[in-house]
């Protein structure tokens, strides 16, 4: 099937893109420190590429909430990620986040172990919570932030920590204790695949929230489905595309199911033919 191999390339692109993003974030401190190349600064809390500034929505929001002060560049910096999430959902998570890269990497490395490697790689999820645990994570995060009065996620966000620890290592030749947060998040993967991303990442939650009415979704064509459920097994987020859950808010558009489906019953589509239309009968619009 020619169509399938094309989509296979999309999954491959995801891996390549993830790797490229990871290398950028990891390599950047080296460029800054050893070669004085300052074109790119920062990591996924805020990254500056020349004059293009990108600010992560959750961290930016926390900063505004705690300081009660609007700063234009940080609002402008949030436009790109918010637009991206609005149109394509959690693509940051599945296509850019260094934690996802490391999770994938550990998956692949574990898969190399001959005996129980394969059973580790796509093993059953040992612990499952209700999917909406994610929202509690977001609410709890914002609550704690506002009670303490200091932004919290900025210092423990695993995607940010990957960049920060590298920078610490390059600039000051030591790493800080926060690196255990990243290790812990990766260890959680052994219990349930992408456990942290599924249930506990407030950044993932806010991106999902923004992308609730996203345009890019994975469409499930029931007439083509032969009920093999390979996609359910493959989905890193524990969603069941085989019952149409791929359009739910919890899907992060990673295309693993699209790639694995033998009958091409799952495909990326632009919802509503690519036009942004409001849900029928909704008066409040898509403000949520």
Partner 1 sequence: MEKERKTDRREFLKVTLGAFIGGALFSSCSLSDLKNPKTMVKSPIKTNVLRPPGAVPEEHFAQKCIRCGRCGEVCPYHCIKYFDVKTGGVFSGTPYVDVMEKPCYLCMKCVYVCPTGSLVPCAKEEVRMGVAVINRQICVTWQQDKTGLMCKTCFNVCPFSGVAIKIDHDFRPYIIEENCTGCGICAYSCIADTYPENNGKKAISIQPIKWKKIKQIKLEDIKKS
Q: Which is nearer to partner 1, 64 or 120 (CB)?
A: 64
Tell me 176's DSSP state: -
Contacts for 262 with CB less than 8 Å, ≥ 6 apart: 226, 228, 230
Exactly one of 128, 176, 274, 278 binds partner 1 (CB under 8 A); which one? 176
Query: Using alpha carbons only, what angle is made at residue 191 by residues 256 and 179, rounded to the nearest 5 degrees?
Result: 90
With binding defined as CB under 8 A, does residue 184 bind partner 1? no
Closest distance to partner 1 from the beta carbon of 250 (Å): 10
With binding defined as CB under 6 A, does residue 201 bind ligand SF4? yes
How many angstroms separate the CA atoms of 106 and 129, rounded? 23
Closest distance to partner 1 from the beta carbon of 213 (Å): 10
Other residues' Cβ atoms within 10 Å of the Cβ of residue 88? 21
How many angstroms separate the CA atoms of 20 and 24, rounded? 6
What φ, ψ does residue 269 adopt, rounded to 5°? -135, 155
How many angstroms separate the CA atoms of 11 and 260, rounded? 10
With binding defined as CB under 6 A, does residue 142 bind ligand SF4? no
Burial 96-112 (b: 16+ CB within 10 A, else e): bbbbbbbbbebbeebee
Closest distance to partner 1 from the beta carbon of 71 (Å): 3
Q: Judge whether 280 and 274 are in contact, CB under 8 Å.
A: no
Question: What, of ligand SF4, partner 1, none, does residue 197 touch, CB below 5 to 8 Å by kind?
Answer: ligand SF4
Site size toward partner 1, by CB under 8 A: 60
Binding mask 140-159 for partner 1 (x = CB under 8 A): --xx--xxxxxx--xx----
Which residues form the interface with partner 1 (CB under 8 A)?
28-29, 32-33, 36, 38, 41-43, 45-48, 53, 55-56, 59-60, 62-63, 65-69, 71, 73-74, 77, 132, 135, 138-139, 142-143, 146-151, 154-155, 160, 163-164, 167-168, 171-172, 176-178, 209, 212, 244, 248-249, 279, 288
Which residues form the interface with ligand SF4 (CB under 6 A)?
93, 97, 99-100, 158-159, 196-197, 201, 203-204
């Amino acid at each position: 099937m020619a169509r399938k191999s094309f989509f296979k390339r999309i999954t491959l692109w995801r891996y390549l893109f993830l790797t490229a993003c990871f290398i950028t974030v990891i390599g950047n401190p080296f460029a800054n420190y050893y070669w004085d190349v300052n074109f790119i600064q920062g990591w996924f809390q805020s990254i500056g590429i020349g004059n293009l500034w990108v600010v992560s929505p959750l961290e930016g929001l926390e900063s505004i909430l705690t300081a009660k002060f609007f700063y234009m560049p940080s609002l402008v910096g949030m436009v790109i990620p918010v637009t991206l999430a609005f149109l394509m959902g959690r693509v940051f998570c599945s296509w850019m986040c260094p934690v996802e890269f490391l999770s994938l990497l550990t998956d692949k490395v574990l898969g190399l172990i001959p005996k129980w490697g394969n059973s580790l790689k796509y093993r059953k999820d040992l612990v499952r919570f209700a999917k909406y645990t994610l929202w509690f994570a977001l609410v709890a995060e914002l609550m704690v932030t506002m009670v303490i009065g200091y932004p919290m996620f900025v210092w423990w966000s695993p995607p940010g920590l990957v960049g920060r620890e590298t920078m610490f290592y390059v600039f000051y030749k030591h790493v800080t204790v926060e690196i255990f947060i990243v290790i812990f998040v990766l260890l959680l993967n052994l219990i349930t695949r992408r456990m942290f991303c599924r249930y506990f990442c407030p950044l993932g939650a806010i991106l999902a929230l923004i992308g609730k009415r996203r345009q890019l979704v994975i469409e499930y064509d029931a007439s083509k489905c032969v009920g093999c459920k390979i996609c359910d097994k493959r989905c890193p987020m524990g969603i069941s595309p085989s019952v149409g859950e791929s359009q739910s808010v919890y899907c992060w558009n990673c295309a693993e199911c699209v790639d694995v489906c033998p009958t091409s019953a799952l495909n990326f589509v632009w919802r509503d033919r690519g036009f942004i239309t409001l849900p029928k009968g909704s008066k409040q619009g898509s403000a949520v």
